[in-house]
Amino acid sequence: MEIPAYFPRGWFAPEAFSEPQQLLAAFFNSSTVGLAILDRQLRFQAANGALAKMSGVPAGAHLGKTAQQIFGDLEPLEVTLQHVLATTRPALDVDLSGRLPKRAEVGHWIGNFFPIKDGSGKVKQIGTIVVEVTNQKKLEKSLHSLTARLLQIKDDEQRRIARELHDSLGQYYVRLKMNLDVLSRHELEPDDKAELFAQSMQVLDRCISETRTISYLLHPPLLDEAGLASAVRWYVDGLGQRSGIKVNLYVQQDLGRLPEKVEMGLFRVLQESVTNVHRHANSPALDIRLGRKSDQVTLEVRDYGRGIQPAQLKRFQETNTSGGVGLAGMRERIHELGGWLDVRSDKGTIVTAKIPLTRSRKKSITRQHRKGKSAKSDVA
Binding site for ligand ATP (CB under 6 A): 153, 276-277, 279-281, 303, 305-308, 312, 322-327, 349
d(CA 69, CA 198): 87
Residue whose CB is nearest to Mg ion in the complex, by number:
326
In the bound state with ligand ATP, the residue whose beta carbon lies nearer, of 326 and 339, is: 326
Q: Write down the least CB distance from residue 333 to Mg ion, Å.
A: 13
In the bound state with Mg ion, the residue whose beta carbon lies nearer, of 148 and 174, is: 148
Q: Write down the least CB distance from residue 131 to Mg ion, Å.
A: 36
In the bound state with ligand ATP, the residue whose beta carbon lies nearer, of 230 and 276, is: 276
In the bound state with Mg ion, the residue whose beta carbon lies nearer, of 129 and 153, is: 153
Q: Write down the least CB distance from residue 28 to ligand ATP, Å.
A: 45
Residue whose CB is nearest to ligand ATP in the complex, by number:
324
Residue 219 interacting partner from Mg ion, ligand ATP, none (CB closer than 5 to 8 Å by kind):
none
In the bound state with ligand ATP, the residue whose beta carbon lies nearer, of 116 and 161, is: 161
d(CA 81, CA 242): 66
DSSP code at position 304: -
Whether 263 contacts 223, CB under 8 Å: yes
Q: Write down the least CB distance from residue 330 to Mg ion, Å.
A: 9
Q: What is the x/- site pattern for Mg ion, positions 234-273, by CB under 5 A?
A: ----------------------------------------
In the bound state with ligand ATP, the residue whose beta carbon lies nearer, of 122 and 279, is: 279
Q: Write down the least CB distance from residue 105 to ligand ATP, Å.
A: 24
Q: Write down the least CB distance from residue 349 to ligand ATP, Å.
A: 4
Q: E strands along 218-295, which residues?
A: 246-251, 285-293
Residue 349 interacting partner from Mg ion, ligand ATP, none (CB closer than 5 to 8 Å by kind):
ligand ATP
Spatial CB neighbours of 255, under 8 Å, sequence gap ≥ 6: 227, 228, 229, 290, 291, 292, 297, 377, 378
In the bound state with ligand ATP, the residue whose beta carbon lies nearer, of 153 and 165, is: 153
In the bound state with ligand ATP, the residue whose beta carbon lies nearer, of 335 and 371, is: 335
Q: Write down the least CB distance from residue 273 to ligand ATP, Å.
A: 7
Put the strands of the sheet holding 348-356 in their side by side order: 246-251, 285-293, 296-303, 348-356, 340-346
**219-246 CB burial, b ≥16 within 10 A, e <16:** ebebbeebbbbbbbbbbbeebeeeeebe
Q: Write down the least CB distance from residue 305 to ligand ATP, Å.
A: 5
d(CA 252, CA 36): 62
**Of 138, 136, 117, 135, nearest in space to 126 by CA:** 117
Q: Which of 55, 252, 276, 283 binds Mg ion (CB under 5 A)?
A: 276
Whether 328 contacts 373, CB under 8 Å: no
Q: E strands along the chain, which residues?
A: 34-39, 44-47, 91-98, 107-117, 123-132, 246-251, 285-293, 296-303, 340-346, 348-356
The dihedral formed by the CA atoms of 260, 262, 265 and 271, expressed in degrees to the nearest 10 = -90
d(CA 203, CA 188): 20
Question: Binders of Mg ion among 302-331, rule CB under 5 A?
Answer: 324, 326
> Contact residues for Mg ion (CB under 5 A)?
276, 324, 326
